[in-house]
A and B are shown apart, each in its own frame.
Chain A
Amino acid sequence: MAAAVSIQGLTKTYLDVWSKTEIRAVDNLTLEVEEGEIFGFLGRNGAGKTTTIKMLLGLIFPTLGTATVLGKPIGDTDAKAQVSYLPEEAYFYEGMTGWDTMDFYARLFRIPEPKRSERIRQCLKDVFLDESAWRRPIRGYSKGMRQRIGIAQALINDPKLLFLDEPTSGLDPIAHAELREIIVNVGRQGKTVFLSSHQLPDVELTCSRVAIIHRGKLLTSGKTQELTAGDKVEITFSGGDAALAEKVKAVAGTCEAKNGTCRVPAVDPQKVNDIVDLIRGAKASVVSVVPHRRTLEEVFVDTVMKAGAN
Chain B
Amino acid sequence: MVTLAIAKQTLEDMLRRKILLILLIVAVAMIALGPSVGFLSPRESSAVLRSLGLAVILLAGLLITVLTGIQVIPTEIERRTVYTVLSKPVQRYEFVLGKFLGGLFTVFVMIASMGIVFIGVLRYQEGRFATEMIQGVMMTFFQMTLLGALAIFFSTFATPVVNFFLSFGLFIVGNMSAVTESLLNNKNVATRLIAGAVHYAIPNFGNFNIQNKLIHPQVVIKDMNVFIMQNIAYALIYSAVLLLLAIIVFDRREV
Chain A residues within 8 Å of B, Cβ to Cβ: 54, 57-61, 77-78, 80-81, 83-85, 87, 89-93, 95-96, 104-105, 107-110, 153, 157, 163
Q: Is there a chain A Cβ closer than 8 Å to B83's Cβ? A: yes
Q: Please give the distance in Å from B224's CB to the nearest CB on chain A.
A: 41
- Per-residue CB contact flags for chain B residues 89-100 toward chain A (1 = under 8 Å, else 0) read 111000000000
- Asked whether B1 lies within 8 Å of A59 as measured between CB atoms, the reply is no
Nearest B residue (CB) for A61: B254
- Measured in the bound complex, the distance between the Cα atoms of B89 and A85 in whole Å is 12
Closest to A103 in B: B5
- Which B residues form the contact surface with A (CB < 8 A)? 1-2, 5-6, 9, 12-13, 16, 79-91, 252, 254-255
Give bound CA distance, A108 to B16, whole Å.
22
A80 touches B87 (CB 8 A): yes
CB–CB B79/A109 < 8 A? no
Can you list 24 A-B contacts (CB < 8 A)? A57-B86, A59-B82, A59-B83, A59-B87, A59-B254, A60-B254, A77-B89, A78-B89, A81-B89, A83-B87, A84-B87, A85-B83, A93-B9, A93-B81, A95-B12, A96-B12, A107-B1, A107-B5, A108-B6, A108-B88, A109-B88, A110-B1, A110-B89, A153-B84
Tell which of B84, B88, B91 touches A87, judged by Cβ atoms closer than 8 Å.
Answer: B84
Choose among A58, A96, A108 the residue with the greatest number of B CB atoms under 10 Å from its CB: A108
How many Å from the CB of A169 to the closest CB on chain B?
15
Q: Are A93 and B13 in contact (CB under 8 A)?
A: yes
Interface centre among A59, A83, A90 (most CB of B within 10 A): A59
Known: A78-B89, A108-B85. 14 other contacts (CB 8 A): A57-B86, A58-B86, A60-B254, A60-B255, A80-B87, A80-B89, A80-B90, A91-B80, A92-B81, A92-B84, A93-B81, A95-B12, A107-B2, A108-B88
**Chain A residues in 8 Å Cβ range of B9:** 93, 96, 104
- Write out the residue numbers on chain B whose beta carbons fall within 8 Å of the beta carbon of A163: 87
Cross-interface CB contact of B5 among A59, A81, A83, A104, cutoff 8 Å: A104
Report the nearest A residue to B98, measured CB to CB. A108
Note all chain A residues with C-beta closer than 8 A to B255: 59-60
Whether A77 contacts B91 by the Cβ 8 Å rule is yes
Say how far A12's CB is from chain B's closest CB, in angstroms. 10
- The A/B interface has a contact count, at CB < 8 Å, of 73
B51 to chain A, nearest CB (A): 37
Chain A: CB-nearest residue to B2: A108
Cα distance A92–B82 when bound, in Å?
9
**Contact yes or no, A108 B79, CB < 8 A:** no
The CB with the most chain A CB atoms within 10 A, among B6, B13, B83, B90, is that of B83
Nearest residue (CB) in A for B82 is A59
Bound form: Cα–Cα A28–B12 in Å = 43
**Residues of B contacting A77 with CB < 8 Å?**
89, 91
- Chain B nearest CB from A38 CB (Å) reads 19
- Beta-carbon nearest neighbor of A157 in chain B: B88
Q: Are B89 and A109 in contact (CB under 8 A)?
A: yes
Give Cα A77–Cα B90 distance, bound, in whole angstroms. 7
Q: Which residues of chain B come closer than 8 Å to A78, judged between CB atoms?
A: 89
Q: Which residue of B lies closest to A82 (CB)?
A: B89
| CA distance in complex: A91, B76 (Å) | 10
Residues A105 and B16 in contact, CB atoms below 8 Å apart? no
A78 to B91, CA, bound (A): 11
Given the complex of chains A and B, what is the CA–CA distance between A110 and B254 in angstroms?
Answer: 25
**B78 to A, closest residue via Cβ:** A91
Residues of B within 8 A of A90 (CB): 84
Residues from chain A with Cβ under 8 Å of B79 in the complex: 91
Nearest CB in chain A: distance from B74 CB, A: 14
A215 to B223, CA, bound (A): 69
In this complex, what residue of A is CB-closest to B5? Answer: A107
Give the CA-CA distance A87 to B87 in the complex, in Å. Answer: 10
Chain A residue with the shortest CB-CB distance to B1: A110
* Least CB distance, A194 to chain B, in whole angstroms: 12
A105 to B84, CA, bound (A): 8
Select the residue from B5, B82, B89 with max chain A CB neighbours within 10 A: B89
In angstroms, how far is the closest chain A Cβ from the Cβ of B115? 26
